Amino acid sequence: MFRWTVHGGPPWSELNRLRREMDSLLSALTPETWPTGSLWPQTRLFPLLNVRDLGEAYVVTAEIPGMKLEDLELKVEADTLALKGERKSPELGEGVSFHRRERASGTFQRSITLPRRVDAEGVTATYKDGVLIVTLPVEKAAMPKQISVEAG
C-alpha cells in the first residue's frame, strides 16, 4: 500500500484532507490505537447474535465462549430479550506480559426487540460449546390468525 498526495489548487487540498480523515478513522479501528476509555473495546464485548424467525418461535444464538453460567443473566419482557453477563479475565499472576491480546473481558449487556411478543413462560435456553441458544415461543395472541371468508 502506498500514500498518495495530489498537489494543486483547492479541489486537491480537499482530497488530501479527506485522505487524512480516512487515515485517522482507519487507524482508530486498530486495537493498538484505542485510547483508554474508548468505546471500541467495549463494542467487542457484545456477543455476536443470530435471530431466526420460525413463525411460532424465535431462536436467538449468541457466541459467548468461555462464559460460566453463573456469570450470565437472561430476562424476557413482552417482546424484548435482555442478555447480560461478565467475561472474567483469567488469573495470570505477576510478571505476565502479552505479545498480543485480543480477547476482551468485562461486563456486557445486549437487548433484542423482537417483532412480536413472546410467551415468557415457554422460553428455554441452552449453552453448549460456547454458544447460547434461546428459544422464545411467540405469544398465542400475537400469532397471526387466518380468517376464512364465506360466500353469502
Side chain identity at residue 83, one-letter code:
L
The H or E element that residue 20 is part of is: helix 10-28
Sign of the CA dihedral with 135 first, then 139, 144, and 146 last: positive
* Per-residue model confidence as pLDDT tens for the chain (152 residues): 555 555 556 667 788 888 888 877 776 666 555 555 454 554 555 788 999 999 999 999 999 888 888 989 999 998 999 999 988 877 777 888 877 877 777 888 899 999 999 999 999 999 999 999 999 999 987 667 777 788 87
Q: Which three cell numbers stand for residue 16?
A: 488530501
Q: Which three cell numbers stand for residue 72?
A: 450470565
Vertex 19 angle, CA 1 and 21, to 5°: 120
